[in-house]
Amino acid sequence: MSDLVRYGVQMAPPSASTTLLRGILNAWTYNPARPENGARDRSQAVRNACDEALAAYSDHLRSELSRLRRALPEPTRDNPYPPMDGLQAVRELERYLQQVDALRVRIQGAAIPPNDIIGHGRADNRLLFIELESADRDLLQALLELHEHSISVVEGILAHREDILRQFDSHL
């Protein structure tokens, strides 16, 4: 099947999604008895656990943010502006909370190839699933102690995970 090119722009580039659609047309089926098909379920379970940990952490940060906001003194006629260090602490915590929430979205939205491709692609697709599972375990390990440094480590692990998926996409 040739790609559609118009005005020198590739309008229908080959992608993983078109390969998946072809697979559905070729009647690829999901066999839950195959052990490698558990990789997707394990990945989702690990990412759900990571999301739950980050949700609890986010709730804690929200309560701390609320406490910080309440600690700011009320404006008065003599002192209409709150202290700058208090405002800066609130802004920094708000930014960090947004970073944690964005990380939750990235973890839950992290892609994983469908199980059906394991047996219908190249032989090393199984190795890619094993690498993805390892990256998911690294995510969970990094979130055992939540703090600012672990959040940046998790972002690095997610970037590595995306690289693994790019390898998968190039194998199709």
pLDDT one-digit tens code per residue, 68-107? 888 888 878 887 877 788 888 889 999 999 999 999 999 9
Predicted confidence at residue 160, as pLDDT, reads 93
Which amino acid, residue 151? I
How far apart are alpha carbons 79 and 123 in whole angstroms?
A: 71
For tokens 């008895």, name the residue: 33
Structure pTM? 0.69
How far apart are alpha carbons 170 and 172 in whole angstroms?
A: 6
